[in-house]
Amino acid sequence: MLDLRSKFPDYYQYHGRNISKKLSLSNVRILNDYYSKYSLDKKILNISSKTSTEQLLQSNLFKKVIIEVGFGDGEHLIESALSNPKVLFVGSEVYVNGVAKVLKQILEKDIKNIRLCGMNFVYLLNILNQNSIDELKIINPDPWHKKRHFKRRLVNLENIIKIIGIVKNKYASYITTDSESYFNYINEIFSSNSKIIHENKNKILSKNDRLYGVSRYQRKAIKNGKKIYQLTF
């Protein structure tokens, strides 16, 4: 992964942190020795128009394919993969420390139903076939609070339209956020583009909801008294 990042920096570019602290030697070793076995990055770099999403993901033996974008330290991704062995989970994350952490757990727990993508998610999104994914989740994307940074937000009109294209069913794409501003921003995209984005709903999550409290970032927000908004489309 580290070699790909230096050879193809555009694919890994992102406005936030890519590596927050120096990677430990053991994480560098794990990434160098095992990342290519579980990752889609090389295949994405060499993809041809003939490669189907099923071939890219090697998903033919699985019942469903679920994507989690920006998995952070991977807690929800690992937990989901362990509880649903017949489902293939594709984890997208640009934060190298998070990728290394997940890779370590994949090896320790011998997890066979996770594929990783360390590139900026848009490169994965751009090459997936229409109606090829069963579910997509973005758990608390970076909020980018300042108005001048709104253009950095991952959930924008262009990406929503692409997500609607790749996800098979309605109401199978989920975004959670503790930012009321981001929630309003996405709702505004939905309502001003109602001819393209027909079906969507939203709610404030509570304890019994499936995606409530599933990640460290989300739990920290809950502890600080924030509401968790969920948008579904």
E strands, the chain, are 64-69, 87-92, 114-117, 135-139, 173-177, 201-204, 229-232
Can you say whether the dihedral through the CA atoms of 93, 194, 171, 143 is positive or negative?
positive
Q: In terms of Cα–Cα distance, which of 137, 155, 154 is closest to 84? A: 137
Where in the sequence numbering do the catalytic residues fall? Answer: 142
Residues 70-89 that bind ligand SAM (CB under 6 A): 70-72
Residues 100-129 that bind ligand SAM (CB under 6 A): 120-121
Residue 179 in contact with ligand SAM, rule: CB under 6 A: no
Residue nearest to ligand SAM as judged by C-beta position: 70
| Residue whose CB is less far from ligand SAM, 134 or 141 | 141
Residues in the chain: 233
Residue 97 in contact with ligand SAM, rule: CB under 6 A: no
CB-based contact 179:36 (threshold 8 Å):
no
| Residue whose CB is less far from ligand SAM, 148 or 195 | 148
Exposed e or buried b for every residue in 9-28, given b needs 16+ CB within 10 A?
eebbebeeeeeeeebeeebe
Residues 22-81 that bind ligand SAM (CB under 6 A): 69-72
**Stretch of 21-29, 165-173, 200-208, 209-217 contacting ligand SAM, by CB under 6 A:** 209-217
Our CA angle for 177, 179, 185, nearest 5°, is: 90
Residue 182 in contact with ligand SAM, rule: CB under 6 A: no
> Shortest gap between Cβ of 17 and ligand SAM (angstroms)?
7
Residue 93 in contact with ligand SAM, rule: CB under 6 A: yes
Cα–Cα distance list, 2 to 34, 45, 56, 102, 137 (Å): 12, 15, 21, 16, 26
> Shortest gap between Cβ of 231 and ligand SAM (angstroms)?
15
Residue 139 in contact with ligand SAM, rule: CB under 6 A: yes
**Number of amino acids touching ligand SAM (CB under 6 A):** 22
| Residue whose CB is less far from ligand SAM, 56 or 98 | 98
Q: Residue type for 69, please?
A: V
| 3-class DSSP assignment, residue 199 | coil
Binding site for ligand SAM (CB under 6 A): 14, 16, 69-72, 92-95, 98, 120-121, 139-142, 154, 215-218
